[in-house]
Chain A
Amino acid sequence: MSAPDAATPPEGIGAFLRDAFSNRSFLIGAVITMLIAAMALLSFVWTPYDVTDLVVASRMQTPSAEHWLGTDHFGRDILSMIMVGARNSIAVAVVAVGIGVAIGVPLGCWAAARGGWIDEVLMRFNDLVFAFPALLSAIMITAIFGPGAVNAIIAIGIFNIPVFARVARAGALSIWPREYVLAARAAGKGPTLITIEHILPNIASILLVQGTIQFALGILAETGLSYLGLGAQPPMPSWGRMLFDAQTRMMVAPHLALFPGMAIVITVLGLNLLGDGLRDLLDPKLRRRR
């Protein structure tokens, strides 16, 4: 028995697609996200200019036909740097979400399945992680273990663990009292099998929505860390680093700060819209209310 439940709308895939195309948030969010992802992928094979090319003669140019978004203080093409920077931000955020899901979801499901003191200990552990302002701890971790993309991933990933644990636990707790779970238990299935066969498919949609939100937060966190010099290291371009370099040159070349910032805003906006749209589409209760 697979899960005939709230997670998938009963009308079938055709109706789902029709809903998806009439949901403005979802549509705009999905288009923006795909464009940014395509830009990042394209940067592996092609960028307008090589980001390692330092052409001092053409430094800090304003946008022009040759350099659509201008050049930075080393004469590097800003559009090319933003494209390569996208790849960096996305990679960090994706892996950080992966860490959160891979560790947090099993923990949350375990807490929900076992209850009792295991649940209590896990939730207190969650409180402990939440008591540390995430950004502060991320700064500590990257500063202690050394700046770099990998340590930024770990620092951001650690804070995704309790988020997913909490969401998975709450979702699982609401599924456990259902009748089909009871039937599965009566049929002699153990907690692990029930979790895999019945709980996970039913909480997949809320995890997907949370994943989108954490992805957006991860990108914001990565840019913050690399702005402080704790993320990806030069010469690897990163959006946060570009903003840091732009800061001291604000007087003469404000466009240096404008474009990387807009790249961040558009990316995060796209992901948030996608998350909102997904939530509307996947949660029938919310759908009725709107």
Chain B
Amino acid sequence: MTVFLLKRILIGLVTLALASMVVFAIMELLPGDPARLMLGMNATAESVSALRTQMGLDDPIHLRYLNWVGGMLVGDFGRSFTYSAPVIGLIAERAVVSLPLALIALVLSTIIAIPVGIFAAARRGRAGDTVSMGAAQIGVAVPNFWFALMLVYVFAVWLQLVPAGGFPGWGGGIWPGLRALILPAVALALPQAAILARVTRSAMLEVLGEDYIRTARAKGMPRRHVLWRHALRNAMIPVLTIMGLQFAFLLAGTIIIENVFYLPGLGRLVFQAITQRDLIVVEGVVMLLVASVIVINLLVDLCYALVDPRLRAAR
């Protein structure tokens, strides 16, 4: 078990290091001189070259890479020229929108998907199964940004229950902030819930065919108990794997959804930074997202061990 986890952690660190090189290399290949971008078109050649020296842009490439990585390790992600502010501050400011959004969406999708998946598996082949899996099949096909537009039309334009977009911040209490996040979270959660419900159903079906389930039923254990205690626990591994993958997907999905709802989150920050060529911001946010994907996958591996005692002993 310890060896298994150590190996996973090592692989995660190597992946992260490689990812940082890829991100750095892509940004290096981009045309455009950051110093000139910062100073504008009318700047003299001398002032541009002075700034280049000051920013360390004339250093050899490996030094610049090490400086960048070393900076990130101590929380210095550089300075954005479009916002004239440290990148870490921008990220912190935007994360308070994106992180709650992704978390609410993950919770929503889980509390919808797992009961639906179990319900469908328990009623395999009957009407309940057909209807819920038909709905899931449609849910998988719905692009989240289109679903978002439809939600805006129904709940914001027509019923006027929630705002159509924008974010009031958390300063005025939790409720106004949450109200602004409800529609985006639902839009993000629905397609994910559809996928998760399908995975839960097929994992449950796999487990329900096992001998120990029949034994449990044969010795008179109530059906509900068998489903929720014995079957679900054994079906959790594929479900957890998909949930881990989904968190990464949700974080990336915020890019589109935040654009639909004009939410000032990380997704909108990185999208605007890309279009404005504010590369230092792009690098910082991308590295943060990649790191969180790697950490989430590690946590999923840890959860395997919690769910399945056999793994704890074996590896």
Residues of chain A at the chain B interface (Cβ within 8 Å): 124, 127-128, 130-136, 139-140, 143-144, 216, 220, 223-224, 227-228, 243, 246-247, 250-251, 254, 257-258, 260-261, 264-269, 272-273, 276, 289
Contact = CB atoms under 8 A, between A and B. Distances in A.
B149 interface: yes
> Interface SS of chain B: helix, strand, loop or mixed?
helix
Question: Which of B15, B138, B253, B286 has its CB near the most chain A CB atoms (within 10 A)?
Answer: B15
A136 B252 contact: yes
Given A220-B143, A261-B149, A127 B290 contact: no
B125 to A, nearest CB: 8
B83 interface: no
A264 B274 contact: no
A136 B255 contact: yes
A139 B255 contact: yes
17 contacts: A124-B11, A124-B18, A127-B15, A128-B22, A131-B15, A132-B19, A135-B255, A135-B256, A136-B270, A144-B274, A243-B146, A243-B149, A247-B260, A257-B153, A264-B146, A267-B141, A268-B140
Nearest to B245: A130
Given A136-B255, A140-B282, A143-B274, 10 more contacts: A124-B14, A128-B19, A133-B289, A224-B256, A227-B143, A257-B149, A257-B150, A266-B141, A267-B141, A268-B140
Contact of B26 (A128, A135, A140): A140
Contacts of B293: 130-133
Nearest to A227: B145
B205 A131 contact: no
Interface string B135-166: 00110111101100110110001000000000
> Interface SS of chain A: helix, strand, loop or mixed?
helix
Question: Which of A144, A243, A269 has its CB near the most chain B CB atoms (within 10 A)?
Answer: A144
A257 B14 CA distance: 44
A272 to B, nearest CB: 6
A35 to B, nearest CB: 15
B142 A135 contact: no
Given A128-B19, A227-B256, A265-B138, A136 B205 contact: no
Nearest to A262: B146
Contacts, number: 112
**What 8 A-B pairs have minimum CB-CB distances, sorted nearest first?**
A133-B252, A261-B146, A268-B141, A269-B141, A135-B252, A143-B274, A136-B252, A265-B141
A269 B157 contact: no
A129 B219 CA distance: 49
Contacts of B150: 257-258, 261
Question: Which of A131, A143, A227, A268 has its CB near the most chain B CB atoms (within 10 A)?
Answer: A131
B173 interface: no
A139 B271 contact: yes
B41 interface: no
How many B residues are at the interface, by size bracket? 35 or more
Contacts of B153: 250, 254, 257
A139 B274 contact: yes
Contacts of A131: 15-16, 19, 290, 293-294
Given A131-B290, A272-B140, A144 B11 contact: no
B234 interface: no
A160 B232 CA distance: 32
A100 to B, nearest CB: 18
Contacts of A260: 146
A258 to B, nearest CB: 8
Contacts of B251: 133
A31 B259 CA distance: 35
A289 B209 contact: yes
B30 interface: yes
Contacts of A133: 248-249, 251-252, 289-290, 293
A266 B143 CA distance: 11
A224 B143 contact: yes
Contacts of A267: 141
B2 interface: no
Interface in B87-142: 137-138, 140-142
A172 B97 CA distance: 44
Interface in B4-41: 11, 14-16, 18-19, 22, 26, 30
A114 to B, nearest CB: 20
Nearest to A123: B11
A227 B271 CA distance: 13
Question: Which of A134, A136, A257, A268 has its CB near the most chain B CB atoms (within 10 A)?
Answer: A136
B279 to A, nearest CB: 10
Contact of B15 (A124, A136, A216, A257): A124
B54 interface: no
A266 B259 CA distance: 24
